């Protein structure tokens, strides 16, 4: 076993118990949802990297109005996913955290109807007003494509965006900048990043458990893991230090671009402050699983943006069911 010391800090926090000890570890991969902006456009209009929700909304408005007018009105501040998708659910939860909001607290009490959670949906409705038409149909490809084609100044997506830009518009690798989601105005607001964990699972009672475990350990370590990770650079981050700090792994052309270098720098910040979906209140909350599985957060945002339901009304309807 590599032991917990051989893992990057933060990558196994979801397996921490109430007494702050690890009960398990995953040798799969970790992905991070980031906010991206175009530095060339920020420089053009004298904008600064946003440190708050208000500053972010201001930047969206400036880019939509200024750059949009120059491009015939076909440029927008940001891409946004509003439909009933996993991506929308992740985006909403990420922004909730940046405002100090959660679905449940660490004791399992419903907190979705707290003001800082309700305010998140109202805020995202404002964000969507600076997004292209059809956001209810946006998902993974659209969020990357809108940014890669130069139609928007921001997008909300994991590091896979880098390899997408490398393939379809490598010039943007000179100006694309990832950042943590800026804090809102709610109590406990903080810069936020949503962490995805991708790991292996074995069915209880299945045959050849030991052989399967040995095979996965072989696949997920050494040069084999490095070669696998290089197929889609940076999309996922290997949690083992023996891989992520290996010179062979770090020797990738994408890491040497301005966007790649900035990604490596912000990645450590993201792992330090990032949260896993079930761990949003500081401890794993298993009953949050069905809420996320049903994409309840995405459905609320869809109600608010598409059906124009007041945020408080849409949130209360779901919160009452959870209670």
CATH number for the domain including 52? 3.40.190.10
Q: What is the pLDDT of residue 239?
A: 76
Q: Per-residue confidence at 237, pLDDT binned at 50, 70, 90? A: confident
269 in any annotated domain = no
Based on the domain organization, do 187 and 217 belong to the same domain?
Answer: no
Contact predicate 160/235, CB 8 Å: yes
Whether residue 202 sits in one domain with residue 188: no
61 and 128 housed in the same domain: yes
If we measure between CA atoms, which residue out of 257, 238, 44, 241 comes closest to residue 169?
A: 257
**Same domain assignment for residues 215 and 299:** no
Answer yes or no: do 103 and 141 share one domain. Answer: yes
Nearest one of 262, 105, 283, 273 to 182, comparing CA atoms: 273
Do 156 and 12 have their domain in common?
Answer: no
* 157 occurs within a structural domain: yes
pTM of this prediction? Answer: 0.90
Is the predicted pLDDT of residue 247 greater than 50, yes or no? yes
**Boundaries of domain holding 156:** 32-194+275-322
Secondary structure class of 87 (helix, strand, coil): helix
Confidence of residue 88 (pLDDT cuts 50, 70, 90): very high
Q: Is residue 26 part of a domain?
A: yes
For residues 237 and 123, membership in a common domain is answered with: no
- 314 within domain boundaries: yes
Number of domains in the chain: 2
Identify any residues that bridge with 76 across adjacent strands, giving them in sequence order: 152
3-state secondary structure of 12: coil
Section 83-112 average pLDDT: 97
Q: Is the pLDDT of residue 2 over 70?
A: no
How far apart CA 272 and CA 157 sit, in angstroms, is 18
Which has more confidence, 9 or 74?
A: 74
Domain assignment present for 167: yes
pLDDT band for 268, please (50, 70, 90 cuts). Answer: confident
Please check whether residues 85 and 114 belong to one and the same domain.
yes
- The closest alpha carbon to 14, from 299, 296, 250, 239, belongs to 239
Same domain, 27 and 37: no
């Amino acid at each position: 076993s590599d032991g917990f010391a051989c893992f990057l800090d933060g990558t196994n926090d979801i397996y921490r118990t109430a007494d702050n000890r690890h009960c398990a570890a995953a040798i799969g991969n970790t992905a991070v949802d980031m906010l991206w902006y175009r530095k060339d456009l920020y420089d053009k209009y004298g904008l600064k990297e946003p440190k708050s929700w208000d500053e972010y909304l201001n930047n969206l408005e400036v880019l939509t109005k200024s750059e949009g007018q120059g491009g015939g009105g076909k440029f927008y501040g940001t891409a946004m996913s509003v439909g009933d998708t996993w991506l929308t659910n992740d985006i909403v939860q990420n922004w909730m955290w940046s405002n100090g909001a959660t679905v449940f607290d660490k004791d399992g009490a419903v907190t979705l109807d707290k003001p800082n959670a309700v305010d998140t949906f109202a805020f995202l409705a404002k964000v969507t007003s600076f997004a292209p038409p059809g956001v209810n149909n946006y998902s993974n490809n659209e969020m990357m494509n809108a940014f890669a084609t130069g139609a928007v100044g921001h997008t909300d997506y994991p590091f896979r965006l880098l390899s997408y830009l490398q393939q379809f518009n490598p010039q943007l690798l000179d100006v694309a900048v990832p950042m943590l989601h800026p804090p809102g105005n709610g109590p406990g607001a903080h810069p936020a990043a949503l962490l995805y964990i991708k790991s292996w699972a074995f069915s209880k009672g299945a045959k050849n458990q030991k052989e399967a475990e040995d095979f996965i350990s072989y696949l997920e370590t050494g040069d084999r893991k490095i070669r696998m990770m290089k197929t889609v650079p940076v999309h996922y981050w290997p949690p083992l230090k023996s891989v992520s700090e290996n010179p062979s792994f770090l020797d990738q052309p994408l890491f040497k671009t301005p966007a790649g270098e900035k990604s490596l720098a912000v990645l450590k910040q993201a792992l330090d402050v990032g949260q896993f979906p079930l761990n949003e209140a500081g401890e794993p909350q298993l009953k949050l699983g069905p809420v996320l599985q049903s994409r309840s957060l995405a459905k609320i945002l869809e109600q608010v943006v598409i059906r124009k339901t007041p945020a408080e009304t849409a949130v209360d309807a779901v919160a009452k069911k959870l209670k």
